A = this chain, B = another copy of it.
């Protein structure tokens, strides 16, 4: 289990001895390795003095391996093939022939963005294994920070003061993947459902159904801007539940467009734009330096190229 390698035995020596074994001359070895003849000659002498053993003896005008040289030459193949195997594996990683990506994304993405990504990955880079974990943005960031995950897909709201650009510092890099509009969900028989666009202020007296904590935070911010504090009657991060509660007349809600792609809109609910309009952005978070890891760079590139317009996502 000793990690101590004899510092007196370096790769160059092994390569040189092997080349001499192959060609029979120092000059030939030098040519094979792309060095000048004196370079090989001197290196050999240095190695011999380090080892305290001659590796070659002069015979005639050429050179012949001593017993020690022959021993080294015999080991050379093993050593070089072990190194070749290692650098081959590294080349596979660099060439995207192998590799793995550990990805975290928020729940709504699990049934929209992520499946589409995985299909693309399987097609373009079949050798790369993707490991997916569902996590809300804060947890996803934590996983990223502790190194349990390589990439995190998160969302954020413009005024959000918890992650927008503060994450880009501290070694984390944030890239914008999509933006999407928030929409208001009303019961189909709601009086305001007749108009195409709804003033949020006109919903001041409604009962609200809120989503996840961060979504609730955004709702509060929007309503505050409109001059009121919403009465939140229910909370659930299940979009389908929200839609059905609205359809049942339990209240109104504000959802991102993407959430609507995960659930079928029940007959009793309608979707409307609102003013002042509000948006949500979807980010890709990665450790600084992920760009240099081929598998992560490839995943990132595919994500950036993804078309989410059928879900109401805007690429930019």
- A interface residues (Cβ-Cβ under 8 A, vs B): 2-3, 5-6, 8-11, 14-15, 18-19, 22, 32-33, 48, 51-54, 57-60, 64, 66-68, 71-72, 75, 78-80, 82-87, 89-90, 93-94, 99-100, 145-147, 171, 287, 289, 292-295
Contacts and interface: CB of A to CB of B under 8 A. Distances in A.
Count identical subunits in the complex: 2
Contacts of A18: 3
Contact of A10 (B11, B22, B59, B75): B11
Given A5-B15, A32-B3, A293-B67, A57 B90 contact: no
B82 A82 contact: yes
Contact of A75 (B66, B78, B86): B86
Nearest to A81: B82
A169 to B, nearest CB: 14
A316 to B, nearest CB: 29
Given A3-B32, A18-B3, A22-B3, A147 B57 contact: yes
A121 to B, nearest CB: 15
Contact of A6 (B6, B83, B100): B83
A59 B147 contact: yes
11 contacts: A3-B15, A3-B18, A3-B22, A5-B11, A9-B83, A52-B292, A53-B292, A67-B93, A68-B93, A71-B90, A72-B90
B57 A289 contact: yes
Nearest to A146: B59
A86 B100 contact: no
Contacts of A287: 57, 59
Nearest to A18: B3
A71 B100 contact: no
Given A53-B294, A59-B145, A67-B100, 7 more contacts: A53-B93, A57-B147, A60-B145, A68-B90, A68-B93, A79-B83, A82-B82
A67 B85 CA distance: 16
A216 to B, nearest CB: 31
Contacts of A10: 11
Interface centre among A11, A72, A89 (most CB of B within 10 A): A11
Contacts of A85: 75, 78
Contacts of A90: 9, 51, 53, 68, 71-72
Contacts of A22: 3
Given A11-B11, A22-B3, A71 B89 contact: yes
Given A5-B15, A11-B5, A52-B94, A89 B75 contact: yes
A3 B80 contact: yes
Contacts of A68: 90, 93, 293
